[in-house]
Amino acid sequence: MAAPPLLTLAGIRLTFGATPLLTGADMIVGPGERIGLVGRNGSGKSSFLKIAAGLIEPDSGERFAHPGATVRYLPQEPDLAGHDSVIAYVRAGLAPGDDAYRADYLCEHLGLDPEAAPARLSGGEARRAALARSLAPQPDVLLLDEPTNHLDLPAIEWLESELKGWRGALVLISHDRRFLETLTRAVVWIDRGVTRRLDKGFAEFEAWRDAVFAAEEAERHKLARQIVREEHWMRYGVTARRTRNMRRVGELQSMKAQLKAWRGPQGAAAMALSEAERSGKLVIEAEGLSHRFGERVIADNLSLRIARGDRLALIGPNGAGKTTLIRLLTGQLAPDAGTVRLGANLDIAALDQSRAALKPDWTVTEAIAPGGGERVEVGGSVKHVAAYMKDFLFQPEQARTPVRALSGGERARLMLARALALPSNLLVLDEPTNDLDLETLDLLEELIADYAGTVILVSHDRDFIDRTATATLAYEADGAWRLYAGGYSDMTAQRGSGVSARQGEPSAPRTRSQPQPQTRKQPQSRAKLSFKDKHALDTLPGEIEALDARIKTLEAELADPALFSRDPAHFHAASADLARLGEEKTDKENRWLELELLREALEEAGARSD
């Protein structure tokens, strides 16, 4: 017999002002379940999670928590008031009998000073403290609202590992695709006020969502065609009995009302970039760049060339100096030593992660058109401010809304609208993914891919880096940075590890073109390939070549136009074999490339040690 649910929400309805937010939302959380709660910005995810946590009351509907089940909730904006220290705040979340050591363990792994005063914490530190408080008691149901916000890559990967072994139930909201794909086994989708559930992980969600939209659109077209047929009968089928006529008139009116009430999916943001004239082929060249703040080294003898069309991602732990390095590379800050040369004809547009360019008293219109005009030029065409606002999912009635009243997602979209309206050939994006929903992230990725200029970006979103970056500049240690081809996954394959916390030693050997001081301790690395890896590296090219020959044979067979009519069973079998062999070839090619990159890295490390 299945265990009873720990938490049940049924028929939840919630209205803010005159706008219905939730009109029939349900969720059942069983023991050990891992649920991703997804939906567009403004769909009501955070409100639904607060109802699940028992923090706000719905207008109607039922919330039931199993007697004795413990529920903990991570808010987006935690309140640490009333506590003398971080450790006191975290321990206050423990129940009698909970392990007090958990609080110390979590503070250590989340990079928190246990004795720090809560009033002096940054927004990111407050979020990490709240995360520690939520995790410490190991509740039966853990509700996490954007847990990766303000976490750096080492902390995200640590949290991911911690939650993989979580025994309790987990419901999380996140814009981090990799995080969702790794942790979820079911998805609850809030769409147009109601919920739908998919009993598969997030990796399957987007294909399922698109299929739902396609089925809805087909049903809408079917209803519209039926209305046309009924209206034709009304005009020309008057010989039918009057009682039947009246019934069909009523059915027609009902179908019209149904079609009128149909709400399609919320529109996606329609972003476009204003591109300036082409820059020179060389965009930025740094030679021997060094800079420090007090004892903290930002860059130590860094040399780097960025060419037109490059998409460079800067990655590293919090405190590595990524934002400062961008300022050095773009000429906003003078280095202590070395030179930075900017290419000809550069027009820079920047998105600041702190949203500092937005003044709280500005209205949405003033933020988009600072000069106070009613029109803005974007991508070579002139748009009315109201139309441009709509492209970024702002409603006309929000034109006079002050920035301070906007949600985090709305401020993120507003900053994008400002940055993308500026003519540029160098786009600098510092944490552009914060507070953006998944659909808007998709659009931003497409925009970057189509951008003719150069992009420098800082992000802790591994999937976003993989989809956009052509090169990755990774922090190693003590001001050392190393350039890798490709995105985050390519970097980890070449490096053999992800990003390490700043205060610890890097998990991969430092590999720089410049000589290092002999007194600096070098982390140990793997000396050579294992026998299994070496054998695979030697044999994979032959296996790939054999697969390629079989694929060409099958393609030649399937090119025969008479094959299907002559032997349909053989046609289907050959088609299936072709698809299978293509996937097998791709897997082997990827494996060979990974091993070849590892071999090159090990040889380079060996040459340096000699």
* Position 181 pLDDT exceeds 70: yes
Q: What's the mean pLDDT in 486-494?
A: 87
What pLDDT band is residue 288 in, cutting at 50, 70 and 90? very high
Query: For residue 517, what pLDDT band results from cuts at 50, 70 and 90?
Result: very low
384 and 510 inside one domain: no
Looking at the structure, tell me whether residues 312 and 167 fall in a common domain. no
Is residue 274 assigned to a domain?
Answer: no
Q: Give whole-number Cα distances, 595 to 217, 373, 487, 508, in Å.
A: 46, 57, 17, 16
How many separate domains does the chain show?
5
Q: Are strands 348-351 and 426-430 parallel, antiparallel or unpaired?
A: parallel
Residue 527, helix vs strand vs coil = coil
Query: Does the pLDDT value for residue 247 go beyond 80?
Result: no
Task: Identify the CA nearest to 109 among candidates 71, 89, 138, 136.
Answer: 136
What is the average pLDDT across 442-471? Answer: 87
- The pLDDT assigned to 98 comes to 85
Tell whether 237 and 213 lie within a shared domain.
yes
Q: What is the mean pLDDT of residues 534-538?
A: 77
Position 547 scores a pLDDT of 87
Give the pLDDT mean for 453-476. Answer: 90
Distance from C-alpha of 208 to C-alpha of 371, rounded to nearest angstrom = 45
Task: Judge whether residue 244 has pLDDT over 60.
Answer: no
DSSP 535-575: HHHHHHHHHHHHHHHHHHHHHHHHT-TTHHHH-HHHHHHHH
pLDDT of residue 516: 35
Average pLDDT over residues 416-430: 82
pLDDT, position 88: 93
Sorting pLDDT into bands at 50, 70 and 90, what band is 509?
very low
pLDDT at position 237: 56
Residue 269 covered by a domain: no
Same domain for 93 and 174? yes
pTM given for the model: 0.67
Q: What is the pLDDT of residues 199-237, one digit of tens each?
A: 999 999 988 988 888 887 777 777 677 766 666 656 555
409 and 539 in one domain?
no
One-letter amino acid for residue 531 of the chain:
F
Residue 430 lies in a domain: yes
Indicate if 366 and 217 belong to the same structural domain: no
Same domain, 402 and 539: no
Last residue of a domain, one of 171, 189, 206: 206
Q: Are residues 41 and 125 in the same domain?
A: yes
Percentage of the chain exceeding pLDDT 70: 81
586 shares its domain with 489: no
159 within some domain:
yes
Residue 366 located in a structural domain: yes
For residues 395 and 441, state if they share a domain.
Answer: no
pLDDT, one tens digit per residue, over 164-178 is 989 999 999 998 999
Q: Is residue 386 part of a domain?
A: yes
Whether 525 shows a pLDDT value over 50: the answer reads no
Q: What's the number of CA atoms in the CB half-sphere (13 Å) around residue 250?
A: 6
Residues 31 and 153 grouped into a single domain: yes
For CA atoms 28, 31, 35, 41, give the dihedral sign: positive
pLDDT value for 223: 66
Taking the C-alpha atoms of residue 553 and residue 235, their distance in angstroms, rounded to an integer, is 62
Query: Residue 18's domain spans which residues?
Result: 7-206
Confidence of residue 371 (pLDDT cuts 50, 70, 90): low
Q: Residue 384 — very low, low, confident or very high, per pLDDT cuts 50/70/90?
A: confident
Looking up tokens 């890295």 gives 601
Does the residue 267 lie in any domain? no
pLDDT of residue 3: 78
3-state secondary structure 68-117: CCCEEEECCCCCCCCCCCHHHHHHCCCCCCCCCHHHHHHHHHCCCCCCCC
Residue range 271-279: average pLDDT?
A: 60
In a domain, 236, yes or no: yes
**Residue at which a domain ends, from 422, 455, 476:** 422
- Predicted confidence (pLDDT) per residue in 143-172, tens digit: 999 998 878 888 898 899 999 989 999 999
Give the domain CATH number at 332. Answer: 3.40.50.300
Which of 176, 206, 236 lies at the terminal end of a domain, its last residue? 206
Beta bridge pairs of residue 110: none
- Do 237 and 371 belong to one domain? no
